Amino acid sequence: MRMLPHPTVVEHRLNDWPLAVKSIFGMWFVYYLTVVARAFLTEDPWTIMANRLLTVSIGVALTAGIYVVFALYARDTKIKQRIVIGGVASFVAAAAQAGLLIAADRFLEKPQEEMRFISREGYSIVETGNTMRLERPGQAPLVVTWPRLNQLHGSDQFRYAADSTVTWFFFFAAWTAFYMAMLAQAEALRVERRLAVAENAAQVAQVRALRYQVNPHFLFNTLNSLSSLVMTGRTDRAETMLLALSTFFRTSLSLDPTAEVTLAEEIDLQRLYLDIEKARFPDRLHVDIRVPEGLEQARLPALILQPIVENAIKYGVSKSRKAVLIEIEARHLGDGRMVVEISNRLKNGGEIDLPTATHEGTGVGLANVCQRLEARFGNRASCRYGPIAGGGFKVSLTTPVETHAP
């Protein structure tokens, strides 16, 4: 014998009761409206409405019973089992409706509207309530009283109940089908929400993993720079670089790997990094940063510019004997987007060819930047790069201008 589910499980399976109640009362209310409309076409609408109110009350209770049975025993089953359980519950409710209405018939008042017909034989037939009067010319009227349903023979009551059960079965089955459709829709929405949550979690994990690639990449390059300074006896510059490095890591490592910062904050982080590199290349590294006030609050993934600036140093400044200018410029595109460009070129011009490799070394570089932009903004962002005339390299990041955290 199947036991009733644990109370907490019961509560969970009945948690959609407000929607079920609304649908049950809505269905029977519509039915009652049709009864009201029909009743006012007669001479005694109030009796009809009162009688049908009992029908509706019984129907509401039985439909609620179908909901409870279905929610407890069919919610977590396969569709075929749901159909079987719903069909059986609807049939039982229809039979109960028919039986209860037959039992209650003795207490119901018959409508006192008068209906008159003329038979083929020319007799007038007048039906009032549960009586029928046959008026014959030249003869006394013949009055016939219809028996109550409970006064019929057992077989007659059974046939009447069977006919009534068939009628009510389709009524209850209609609500059951509607409720099953609501369940299917709710399940589809839950699956969609779970997929959205899973997709968001995967995106967060991807962003976190990409963000974690930045620090080892940066630390590797910085330690190489420190090693070069120490080995060449430039300890004062190494000390300056260490102080700047500690400030940079204290700032960057305190960020959540999935955090976003404003463009102004991102530029400040890059200034710290460039100060570190200036200790290594005091004569060769020159920086020009231009960010309009209107874009300072635009949000970007933290340290999104870091690999680009590192590459500009590694493949530009460190490989050239002349002064190199690194430019960071942000511009508003006028369509709700902005572009941030990072480039390296010879400060005083010239045709010398600066190395433009971007995927060497640890293999992070632009691949990391482009993946992080895609993970955050999707197809609303773009990442373009390539050599520039006269030598050097430029990277252009186009993103939506968003000033609030998502």
CA distance 102 to 96: 10
Q: Are residues 42 and 182 in the same domain?
A: yes
- Predicted confidence at residue 70, as pLDDT, reads 81
- Predicted confidence at residue 361, as pLDDT, reads 40
pLDDT band at 61 (very low <50, low <70, confident <90, very high): very high
Q: What is the mean pLDDT of residues 34-45?
A: 80
Report if residue 32 sits inside a domain: yes
- Predicted confidence at residue 221, as pLDDT, reads 66
- Predicted confidence at residue 303, as pLDDT, reads 79
pLDDT for residue 380 is more than 70 = yes
Report if residue 227 sits inside a domain: no
Q: Are residues 47 and 58 in the same domain?
A: yes
Q: What is the mean pLDDT of residues 311-332?
A: 87
Query: Which CATH number do you get for residue 322?
Result: 3.30.565.10
Q: Are residues 135 and 253 in the same domain?
A: no
Q: Are residues 144 and 129 in the same domain?
A: yes
Helices 235-252 & 154-231, crossing angle to 10 degrees?
A: 170
pLDDT band at 353 (very low <50, low <70, confident <90, very high): low
Q: Are residues 123 and 104 in the same domain?
A: no
The answer to whether 312 and 326 are in contact (CB under 8 A) is yes
Report if residue 26 sits inside a domain: yes
- Predicted confidence at residue 13, as pLDDT, reads 65
User: pLDDT exceeding 90 applies to what percent of the chain?
Assistant: 18
> In the sheet that 131-135 helps form, which strands lie side by side, from edge to edge?
114-118, 124-128, 131-135, 142-145
- Predicted confidence at residue 121, as pLDDT, reads 73
Highest mean pLDDT among 3-7, 48-52, 265-269: 265-269
CA distance 86 to 173: 7
The DSSP output letter for 198 is: H
- Based on the structure, what is the number of domains in the chain? 3
Q: Are residues 90 and 59 in the same domain?
A: yes
Of 261, 273, 266, give the one whose Cα is nearest residue 326. 273
Q: Tokens at residue 35, please?
A: 């009864």
Q: What is the mean pLDDT of residues 331-349?
A: 89
Of 327, 347, 330, 348, give the one whose Cα is nearest residue 339. 330
Using the 3D structure, point to which of 129, 162, 194 is the last residue of a domain: 194
Q: Are residues 52 and 118 in the same domain?
A: no
State the chain's mean pLDDT as an integer. Answer: 79
CA distance 151 to 165: 19
386 exposure class (CB count in 10 Å sphere: 0-12, 13-18, 19+): exposed
Helix (H) or strand (E) holding 400: strand 393-400
Report if residue 79 sits inside a domain: yes
Report if residue 278 sits inside a domain: yes
Q: Tokens at residue 78, please?
A: 């396969």
pLDDT band at 257 (very low <50, low <70, confident <90, very high): low
Q: Are residues 36 and 163 in the same domain?
A: yes
pLDDT band at 77 (very low <50, low <70, confident <90, very high): confident
Higher pLDDT among residues 374 and 94, named by residue? 94
User: pLDDT exceeding 70 applies to what percent of the chain?
Assistant: 82
The answer to whether 105 and 150 are in contact (CB under 8 A) is yes
Report if residue 78 sits inside a domain: yes
pLDDT for residue 359 is more than 70 = no
Q: Are residues 144 and 176 in the same domain?
A: no
Whether the model pTM is above 0.75: no
Q: Tokens at residue 193, please?
A: 């929400």
Q: Tokens at residue 99, please?
A: 């039986």
Cα–Cα–Cα angle for 302, 347, 281, rounded to 5 degrees:
65
Report if residue 299 sits inside a domain: yes
Q: Are residues 42 and 160 in the same domain?
A: yes
Q: What is the mean pLDDT of residues 62-69?
A: 90
Domain that holds residue 144: 113-150
Report if residue 212 sits inside a domain: no
Q: Are residues 67 and 141 in the same domain?
A: no
- Predicted confidence at residue 96, as pLDDT, reads 92
Residues 6 or more apart whose CB falls under 8 angstroms from that of 124 comprise: 116, 117, 118, 134, 135
- Predicted confidence at residue 2, as pLDDT, reads 47
Q: Are residues 369 and 239 in the same domain?
A: yes
pLDDT for residue 336 is more than 80 = yes
